[in-house]
Each structure stands twice: as structure tokens, then as C-alpha cells.
Structure 1
Amino acid sequence: MGTKFKVKANTQAADYNGKSYYFCCAGCPGPFNNNPGEYINKQ
């Protein structure tokens, strides 16, 4: 996580506390959804 990439129409995303978070690969949404605060605090 933390990789910069271009968001496209088919980019996977999750909403958390009113903000959208986008993922570069299929393996990222699961861990994020299990504990979003852990990943958001790393930014």
C-alpha cells in the first residue's frame, strides 16, 4: 500500500469515514477492510 497509480473506472475502492480509498491490486481491499485504521495511520 502507498503505491501511486492512476485511478480508472474499474479501480477497486473502499469508503471509510466518508473518504474513498483506492487499491492498485486485488489483494489490498481485504486487509484494509479488516482494519482500515491501521492502514490510514501509515499515510
Structure 2
Amino acid sequence: MVIDPVCKMEIDEKASQFKSKAEGKDVYFCCPHCKAIFDKQPSKYQVV
């Protein structure tokens, strides 16, 4: 399980359809809206 950095929702990275790369890491999202927000300003969010 991972945390969506935008909405802080806990999600299963294996089931997530929404993914980006940041700082060399895969980042997973609960929905396309959260992914779009992150992709506009990735430096605003902490990637773990």
C-alpha cells in the first residue's frame, strides 16, 4: 500500500491505474484528478 501524495488516500499500487515518476520514483494516485494536480506541480508534494 502507498499514499496518494495529493489527497493522502491509502491505495494499492498494484491496482492503481494512475502513475507518474518523480525524483526517480514511481508515484501512484487514486484518480486522474489527483494525478493531474501532481503533474502540474510535483515539487509541491513530498515523494516517499
The interval holding the TM-score normalised by the smaller chain is 0.7 to 0.9
- Give me the identity figure in percent: 29
Q: 1:23 aligns with which of 19, 29, 45?
A: 29
Q: Cα distance 1:2–1:34, how it changes in 2: closer, same or farther (>3 A)?
A: same
Q: Structure 1: any 5+ residue segments left out of the alignment?
A: none
Q: Higher strand share goes to which structure?
A: 2
Secondary structure in 1 matching 2:21 = strand
Q: Structure 2: any 5+ residue segments left out of the alignment?
A: 1-6
CA RMSD between the two structures: 2.1
Looking at structure 2, the residues matched to 10 and 39 of structure 1 have their Cα atoms a distance apart, in angstroms, of 19
Normalized against structure 2, the TM-score is what?
0.67
- Structure with max Cα Rg: 1
